[in-house]
Amino acid sequence: MSKIPEIYVLQSEFCRSVTHPIRMLIVENLSKKSFSSLKELSDSLGFPVSHLSQHVKVLYDIGVLGRKSVGRKREYFLKYPKIIEGLECMREVLSEILKEKGKLIKKLT
């Protein structure tokens, strides 16, 4: 029986952490700004701070986000903007899959 290489396990855990819809919104939002507080993210995305804080913590814990303190406020930033390219790539592949499925459905009807 073969063992799964560790890099695949780590990559899977990373993808699971990043690909929650709200976390993808947070990442995209932060890619357009230098820094954002939870309040600013809440205002921008329309979710309560209490809800966003859980998602920001996951992204921070896996190393996607960094943070700095400004007075009593914490501001978050995207540590690796290249992650946007990965999300865009997934979106492009999904778009192609959906187009292909649409063609198949048209052929069947």
Q: Has residue 67 been placed in a domain?
A: yes
Q: Has residue 88 been placed in a domain?
A: no
Asked if the model's pLDDT at residue 1 lies above 90, the reply is no
- Quick one: average pLDDT of 41-66? 96
- The alpha carbon torsion through 50, 54, 57, 61 (nearest 10 deg) reads 170
Predicted model pTM: 0.85
Lookup result for tokens 């700095």: 68
Domain CATH code at residue 38: 1.10.10.10
* Residue-range definition of the domain harbouring residue 58: 6-80
Q: How confident is the model over 56-75, as pLDDT tens digits?
A: 999 999 999 999 998 999 99
Burial of 23 from C-beta contacts in 10 A (0-12 / 13-18 / 19+): buried
